[in-house]
Amino acid sequence: MKAPEIRVKGLCKSFGDNKVLKDLEITLEAGKVNFIIGRSGGGKSVLLKHLTGLLTPDSGEVWYGDREFFRAGKREKENLRKSVGLLFQDGALFDSLSAGENVIFPLWYHRAMPEDKAKERALSLLKDLGMEGAYDHRVEDLSGGEKKRVAIARALVMEPGVLFFDEPTTGLDPILSTQVDALILEARERTGATVAVVSHDIAAALSISDRIHLLHEGRVLLSGTAFDFKKSDLPEVKAFLTGDEPEGP
């Protein structure tokens, strides 16, 4: 499956009495860089967990192209998952494995190819990301930025049609943040995948996104290009753009 459009319909989710997602509708455009922004507690990460199947919705649908994720059979769900890469905020690398083994892991687990071929691919990916020497390094010896690169390599190794980034620049210094933004664009170029970035980094959103979705109190307040956002009169959008609201996770 190459770069599908992702469509979320009527997604509702509550934790106890707290309604986090209220009948949320969103469309992530195929092959584009979609930013999902919003304040903390606006439901961004909950939405991401639904998109990646880590949470089950109270009601609503998540469509990958013409397939609905939560109604899919076991095997179909597995195939959908294999075509999705997710970069966790802190990388979520397996610290029992080396950097290279982390990158190989999906290939090894799904027995996608022989081990020597897999290693070849992992090495070339790491090289592209400027990490060629890190194959045998232990995860705990890597810096934050290096972890992120290895995690991106792991997300890319299955050549996914969809790439999710969870707060990719949070906690990184400005130079690293810029590098990561570049990595996001590069990843999209390499794979042609549908990219969705969950972030509150409005600067990155305005500079590298094709489309921005602003989440506010469990709903999408505004979807549009960076230009649409800049000229928007909505007070919430203005507040977000000028940074009046307290930010941070």
Q: At residue 66, what is the residue type?
A: D
167 scored as a contact of other proteins (CB under 8 A): no
Nearer to other proteins, 81 or 211 (CB): 81
3-state secondary structure of 37: strand
Residues binding other proteins: number (CB under 8 A) = 28
Nearer to other proteins, 8 or 214 (CB): 8
Which x/- pattern, by CB under 8 A, does the window 64-103 give for other proteins? -------------xxx-xx-x-x-xxx-xxxxxx---x--
Site string for other proteins, 101-130 (x = CB under 8 A): x--xxx-xxxx-------------------
Residue 157 near residue 128, CB atoms below 8 Å:
no
Helix boundaries (H) for 94-213: 99-109, 115-128, 144-156, 174-191, 202-208
Q: Which two tokens stand for residue 114?
A: 């022989």
Question: Is residue 9 within 8 Å of 185, Cβ to Cβ?
Answer: no
How far apart CA 197 and CA 168 sit, in angstroms, is: 8
Could you tell me the smallest distance in angstroms from the CB atom of residue 21 to other proteins?
A: 18
SS3 51: helix
Least spacing, CB of residue 245 vs other proteins, in Å: 26
Q: List residues binding other proteins (CB under 8 A).
A: 52-54, 77-79, 81-82, 84, 86, 88-90, 92-97, 101, 104-106, 108-111, 158
